[in-house]
Structure 1
Amino acid sequence: MVIKIYFALAAALAAKATLPRYAAALLDGDPERAYDSVSDVSDRGSRQLIDGDEGRLLAVSDALLLLDRDEDAEQEYRRAQKACRSDDDRLRVMSCRNAGWQALKRARYFAAHSCFARIVSDDGATLEQAIEASMGVGIVHHLMGQQRHAAEALEHAAQLASEALDPLWSDTIALLTLDCAVRIEVCGSAQLADHAFWQSGRESDAFLHGSAAQRLAPESLHLQRARRPLIDNHLDYLRQLLAVADGNSAASLRLAAIAVDGALWPGRNVPAEARIAAVLAALSGGFGAMAERLLETLTKREMDGIAPRWNLDLLYARAKVAAQRGHMQSALQLYASYSREALHCLRSEAVQAPAAGSRRSTSTSTSTPTTDDIAMRLPAKYRRAYRYIVEHIAEHGLTTREVAAHIQVTERALQMMFKHSLGVSPGALIRQMRLEGIRDELRTDARGGVTVLDTARRWGVNSRSTLVKSYRKQFNESPSETLNG
């Protein structure tokens, strides 16, 4: 899956009302032009920024990430968050959103899921932010092989998108859902029966309501608005993938041209994952020579850049091509590596990320896990502060001053950095984490017969009225409802 497509679409739609030239450039698949339209804000000092500039800084950051200038993007994201001073809800959601896309690009799927799931369950998120986050959750589940959860997240995103003013949100979710169906249909074909990771996805009919080819036919697409090159070109690419996987020789020529020379994606170059998908389609359709040629176009740098723990398609493709060439020992080694990785992903990492439920759900699927997505959003020095909080969260006397002293900064510096990076103060984070600890204990009721207040006191909360008020605000239910639920 070419994640850049969906990131570019989400970034364009988020900025469409305030930065129309920037959004139009992204919808045309031209992040360089998009960057040029807003880059002037990068030259302004922090005291020269005016109201609304955090939006331009965010747009600059997104364009830089699409252009693979990741370090520059991270720096501009931090500037955008620092510029967002007056709205805690906006800052908190912006922090999660930025970190989620960065984690997704780096194939840190569990951290990405945590970021996006926080937004889905955040009352401070706008409708459009909730759509984008649900889309992110769906992408993560799909890439981790959890197709039923992915479908649930995208169905939720589609419901939210139907309420949005801009109909392109619905088109974006429809395109992403089709993309998932195509990937499952190609990689789950009979010709790739030993591609265990994706064959497992066919056990769920979540994305397989009719063949993907039929759903991609122009007369079947329910995309009623005038579209942009970014969407149209990707639809063409998906059609060619399916046709090649079905053995269409004419489509093989078209797909080979797209996968080597085509400039259909943001950044005007062909992403490695798009070429790997074309290799798998060629193997599925019996075009062995085409698969070999496409695989050879991947440079060592590109292969090294693919996350080592999630390079399943690449390992599998290399094993199949090696066997096709008669290099059986190499093929067996590559397939053994693929099998180990697939089994590890299916058994361990994939089961960690629960499905995201509805935006206001209080079910276990949308609880806010204290995972490394918070640490990832903080500068290195302040990650030590977060780790200290996690390690001492059950201690009654834990204070912001103590945390600041641990990393040898002033209390004000700690407060400012947490606010700029996370959208919450250290004290608010401590309270939130304690409430999550109380909730986890109430759900399991492991101690049996212990009262709600006894549980709260173990987490440093001694006032029943404070507990009930804060608990209801955070989880939309009372502690007793959790205990008896």
Structure 2
Amino acid sequence: MVSGIYFALASGIAARAHLPRYAQAVFEADWQQAYALVADAADGDERQLGVTAMVRLQALSDALALRDLDEEAEQGYARAQRVCRDAEQLRLVSCRNTGWQAFKRNRTSLARNCFTRIMHDDAASAAERTEAALALALIDHQLGHQRAAEHAIAQARNSAAMADDKLWAELVELLALDIGIQLTIRWSPGLADHVFWQSVRAASPSSLPQDAAVAASLRGIASGPWTLTLMARHASYLTELAATAAGDGDAARMLPTRMDALSLPERTVVHAHMRIDSLMAALGGGFSLLTDRLYSTLDKRGDTAGAVRGHLDLLYASGKVAALRGQVASALDLWMIYSQEALHRLRTEVISMRAQDPRADSAAQARADDIAGRLPAKYRRAYLYIVENIGHSTLTTREVAAHIDVTERALQMEFKRSLGMSPSALIRQLRLEGVRGELLDDTRTQATVLDTASRWGFTSRSSLLKNYRRQFHESPSETIHG
């Protein structure tokens, strides 16, 4: 799936109110113009950019990320986070930026944790929750968790209904159609030996698209009421993609034209992913010449190759293409690599779904790596030290600062800049999660709430109750009896 299309559209919709020309360029698939309209922010002083500084820097960084200029994008995101108005905004923006960057780098656990936190952050707007739910649907689909992807789509629909910009709702429906078509292709008879997706099919019978529903979607998708040019072009591309997998020769001939209409930057990850999807459709439809041509056009040099080298569909297709070319020994070697990777993915990368509330498994969630991923390397050691020693009631920020040889002030400034919270606030949050974890434990002793809290460093009953209710929206006694 071409997740970069949804990243681009989400960027445009989010920026539309403040940067309408940038958004319009994204919507018209004019990637160069979109970048040019915000490029001045790269050299501009944050103070000179005015009230739109954060939005402009976010848009610039998104445009750089779409062109695979990841280091420059990361620097831009850091600048955007420096001009955030308050801690809540910083927390959400940091999670959003880290989540998309991690997803692009195939760090799906980190990405998922970041977007899940946004979904459960009381300060998140309907638009921010919609974008996070869309990203979760993309991640879960990629990992083969189709029920989880369906749940994320449902959450995205609910959030989009409350968002000010109705384009969010349209984007959700496009993604829902896209996921259905991707499943139809990968579960087609021509790809019956694609072990990973066949295993997903066996585990997700409720996700199997019905023939009548798929046919109805395909009839309406290309001519549907898509507001944006990029949406309409992507819908047309999806139509040809599904028809090609079904064996339609006319669609197979039109597929390269539909790809070109999206004007994706050459030699980028997003361009390569679109070629891989088309390659899968050609294999599913039995179009050997188109398969060979598409495979040959995939750029196997430079950064793009590194980004897609472990792509499971590409590994699968490589073995199939080698067989079509009569390269039997090479095909067997490639199939062995694919089989090993598919087995690894099924065993380790297809994550076990926990409850959607990340606070329900607080001890594990407290150690989730999304916070560490948002901190510079030196301060990441400080976070890990906090996690490892959170059970010690005497833990202080001074001790943490001394551990990484910085001043308390430096530690506080970096945590606030990167996380939107101070080290002491983080320690309090993790301790509260520890208290909650014990209260939820069915095997715990009959110790009082205060006894439990004191082991986590809380000495004031009123402070405990106030902070506990603020963090979990219930009292400790409600947690026990809930």
Match of 1:104 in 2: 103
Contact 1:104 1:140 in 2 (8 A): yes
CA displacement at 1:97 relative to structure 2: 0.5
Name the counterpart of 1:71: 71
Please tell me the root mean square deviation across aligned C-alpha atoms, in Å.
2.3
The one-letter amino acid paired with 2:464 is L
In the alignment, is the contact (CA less than 8 A) between 2:153 and 2:172 conserved in 1?
yes
Report the CA distance shift for 1:369/1:405 in structure 2 as closer, same or farther (over 3 A).
Answer: closer
Deviates more, 1:167-176 or 1:339-348: 339-348
Aligned to 2:392: 395
- Quick one: distance in 2 between partners of 1:409 and 1:157? 42
Matched position secondary structure for 1:271: helix
- The residue that corresponds to 1:214 in the other structure is 216
Residues 1:136 and 2:131 are matched in the alignment = no
Q: Is the 8 A contact 1:29 1:268 kept in 2?
A: no
**Structure 1 counterpart of 2:159, one-letter code:** L
Using a 3 Å threshold, how does the CA distance of structure 1 residues 124 and 285 change in structure 2: closer, same or farther?
same
Q: Name the SS of the counterpart of 2:207 in structure 1.
A: coil
Matched letter for residue 380 of structure 2 = R
Post-superposition shift, 1:339? 2.1
Check whether the contact 2:18–2:52 (CA below 8 A) recurs between aligned residues.
Answer: no
Instruction: Give the letter aligned to residue 381 of structure 2.
Output: R
1:368 offset after TM fit, Å? Answer: 5.1
Answer yes or no: is 1:443 the counterpart of 2:445.
no
Q: Identify the residue that residue 11 of structure 2 maps to in structure 1.
A: 11
Letter of the structure 1 residue corresponding to residue 5 of structure 2: I
Seen in structure 2, the aligned counterparts of structure 1 residues 220 and 464 have a Cα distance that, compared at 3 Å, is farther
Deviation at 1:353, TM superposition (A): 5.0
Structure 1 residue matching 2:50: 3-state secondary structure: coil
- Partner Cα distance (1:22, 1:164) in 2: 20
CA contact (8 A) 2:98 2:374 kept: yes
2:243 equivalent in structure 1: 243
The answer (yes or no) to whether the contact 1:241–1:278 under 8 Å persists in 2 is yes
Structure 1 residue 29 corresponds to structure 2 residue 26:
no
Q: Could you tell me how far 1:208 is from its partner in structure 2?
A: 2.3
Deviation at 1:343, TM superposition (A): 2.2
Give 1:174 shift.
0.5
Letter of the 2:152 counterpart:
A
How far the C-alpha of 1:436 sits from its partner, in A, is 1.8
Contact in 2 for aligned 1:404/1:411 (Cα 8 Å): yes
Structure 2 spans left out of the alignment, 5+ residues: none
Asked if the contact 2:280/2:317 (under 8 Å) is kept, the reply is: yes
Q: Who is 2:150 aligned against?
A: 151
- CA separation of 1:369/1:479 partners in 2, compared to 1, >3 Å: closer, same or farther? same
Q: Secondary structure at the match of 2:178?
A: helix
Partner of 1:267: 265
Question: Residue 184 of structure 1 corresponds to which residue in structure 2?
Answer: 183
The equivalent residue for 1:91 is: 90
1:243/1:49 CA distance change after superposition, 3 Å: closer
Query: More displaced, 373-382 or 121-130?
Result: 373-382
Instruction: Compute the displacement of 1:206 (Å).
Output: 3.1
> What is the SS of the residue equivalent to 1:398?
coil
- What SS is found at the alignment partner of 1:52? helix
1:110–1:352 Cα contact (<8 Å) kept: no
Range that drifts further, 443-452 or 234-243: 443-452
Residue correspondence of structure 1 range 362-381 to structure 2 within 5 A = 369-381=366-378
Structure-to-structure mapping, 1:287-306, within 5 angstroms: 287-301=287-301, 304-306=305-307
1:364 shift after superposition: 5.8
For residue 282 of structure 1, what is the aligned residue in structure 2? 282
Asked whether the equivalents of residues 436 and 479 of structure 2 are also in contact (C-alpha less than 8 Å), the reply is yes
- Give the direction of change, closer, same or farther, for the CA distance of 1:265–1:135 in structure 2 (3 Å limit): farther
Q: Is the 8 A contact 1:245 1:281 kept in 2?
A: yes
Secondary structure of the corresponding residue to residue 162 of structure 2: coil
Shifted more, 69-78 versus 195-204: the winner is 195-204
Q: Deviations over 1:200-252 (max 9, x none)?
A: 3334223625543421322797x64x522211111111111111101011111
Match of 2:421 in 1: 424
- Supply the distance in 2 between the matched residues of 1:4 and 1:258 (Cα, whole angstroms): 16
Paired residue for 1:52? 52
Distance in 1, matches of 2:479 and 2:286, equals 55
Give the distance between the partners of 2:453 and 2:442, measured in 1 at CA: 13
Structure with the larger RCO, 1 or 2 (CA within 8 Å, 6+ apart): 1
Q: Deviations over 1:77-136 (max 9, x none)?
A: 11111111x321111101100101111111111100000000000001111101111111
Partners in 2 of 1:71 and 1:355 — Cα distance? 34
Q: Which stretches in structure 1 are left out of the alignment for 5+ residues?
A: none
TM-score, with structure 2 as normaliser = 0.92
DSSP-derived class of the 1:306 partner:
helix
Measure the CA separation in 2 of the matches of 1:329 and 1:353. 39
Letter in 2 for 1:72: E
Counterpart CA distance in 1 for 2:327 and 2:38 is: 52
